Amino acid sequence: MPKLAIAKGCLQQFGELDRPLREKITETLVAKFEAATHTGIHMEKIADARTPRYRSIRIDQFYRGIVLAPETGDVYTLLTVLPHDDAYAWARRRDLTVNRATGAIEVRDVTTIDETLPQLVKAAEATPERLFARVNDADLTRLGIDESTLPIARTLTDTAQLDALKPVLPETQWDALAGLASGLSPEQVWSELGAEIVDEPYDTDDLDAAVARSTDRIVLVDGPDDLMAIFAHPFALWRIYLHPTQQAVVDATFRGPARVTGGPGTGKTVVALHRAHRLAQQTTESVLVTTFTSTLTDSLHAGIKLLATSPEVLDRIDVQHVDKLAHQIFRERHGAPQLLSSADETQLWSSIIERLELPFTEAFLAAEWRHVALAQRVSTAADYLSAKRTGRGRRLGANQKAQVWQALWEFEDTLRERNLWTHETVCREATRLLEERDDKPYRHIVVDEAQDLSPERWRLLRAAVSDGPDDLFIAGDTHQRIYQSHVSLREVGIRVTGRSSRLNLNYRTTAEILGWSLQLLRGERIDDMDGQLDSIAGYRSDVHGMPPTTKGFGTQSDEVGYVADTVQAWLDSGIAPGEIGIATRAKRLGTKVQDELFKRGVPVRSLGKAKDAADSVSIGSMHAMKGLEFRCMAVAGVGAKQVPPTAAITPVEEDVQTHDRDIQRERCVLFVACTRAREDLLVTWSEEPSPFLVPLV
Q: Do domains 3-96+209-236 and 548-696 have the same CATH topology?
A: no
Q: Provide the strand spans (E) within 193-279.
A: 218-221, 258-262
pLDDT digits 0-9 by tens, 483-534: 767 778 888 889 998 898 888 877 778 889 988 998 998 777 766 566 666 6
pTM higher than 0.75: no
Q: How far apart are CA 442 and CA 92, in angstroms?
A: 55
> For the chain, what are the domain ranges?
3-96+209-236, 100-201, 244-331+440-505, 342-420, 548-696
8 A C-beta contact, residue 71 and residue 36: no
Burial level of 467, CB count in 10 A (0-12/13-18/19+)? exposed
12-25 pLDDT tens trace: 777 667 777 777 88
Cβ atoms of 135 and 177 closer than 8 Å: no
Is 265 annotated as contributing to ligand binding?
yes
DSSP secondary-structure letter at 162? H
Helix ranges restricted to H, 534-586: 556-572
Note the pLDDT of residue 95.
93
Predicted local confidence at residue 683, as pLDDT: 98
Given a contact cutoff of 8 angstroms between Cβ atoms, the answer to whether 555 and 514 are in contact is: no
pLDDT, residue 40, reads: 47
Phi, psi of 571 (to 5 degrees): -60, -40
pLDDT at res. 611: 45
Q: Do the strands 63-68 and 54-58 form a parallel or antiparallel pair, or are they unpaired?
A: antiparallel
Does the domain made of 548-696 have the CATH classification 3.40.50.300?
Answer: yes
CA torsion through residues 285, 291, 297, 301, sign:
negative
Distance CA 578, CA 614 (A): 4
pLDDT at residue number 198: 53
pLDDT in tens, 643-682: 999 988 888 887 787 888 889 999 999 999 999 999 999 9
Residue ranges of the chain with pLDDT lower than 70?
1-2, 15-16, 32-42, 192-200, 215-216, 220, 222-241, 244, 391, 393, 482, 484, 526-538, 608-614
DSSP code for 373: I
Q: Is 283 helix (H, G, I), strand (E, B) or coil?
A: coil
Rounded Cα gap, residues 218 and 236, in angstroms: 15
Q: What is the pLDDT of residue 192?
A: 67
Residue 591 in marked binding region: no
Would you say 272 and 605 are in contact if contact means Cβ atoms under 8 Å apart?
Answer: no
Radius of gyration for the alpha carbons in the chain, expressed in angstroms and rounded: 28
Instruction: Report pLDDT for 536.
Output: 64
264 is in an annotated binding site: yes
Is residue 166 marked as binding?
no
Superfamily classification of domain 244-331+440-505: P-loop containing nucleotide triphosphate hydrolases (3.40.50.300)
Which residue stretches of 310-397 are H helix? Answer: 311-316, 322-334, 342-356, 362-368, 381-386
Distance, in Å, from the CA atom of 620 to the CA atom of 585, rounded to the nearest integer, reads: 9
Q: Can you tell me the distance from the alpha carbon of 350 to that of 342, in angstroms, rounded to the nearest whole number?
A: 12
What CATH code would you report for 3-96+209-236? 3.30.2310.20
The Cα 55–Cα 533 span in angstroms is 54
Instruction: Return d(Cα 672, Cα 626) in angstroms, integer.
Output: 7
263 is in an annotated binding site: yes
Q: 623 and 669 in contact (C-beta within 8 Å)?
A: yes
What pLDDT, on a 0 to 100 scale, did the predictor assign at position 657? Answer: 79
β-pairing verdict for 617-621 and 677-686: unpaired
Query: Can you give 72-89 as a three-state secondary structure string?
Result: CCCEEEEEEEEEHHHHHH
Tell me what pLDDT residue 295 has. Answer: 75
CB neighbours of residue 631 within 10 Å: 18
267 assigned ligand-binding residue: yes
Give the C-alpha distances (Å, rounded to integers) separating 473 from 22, 173, 186, 359. Answer: 38, 31, 29, 44
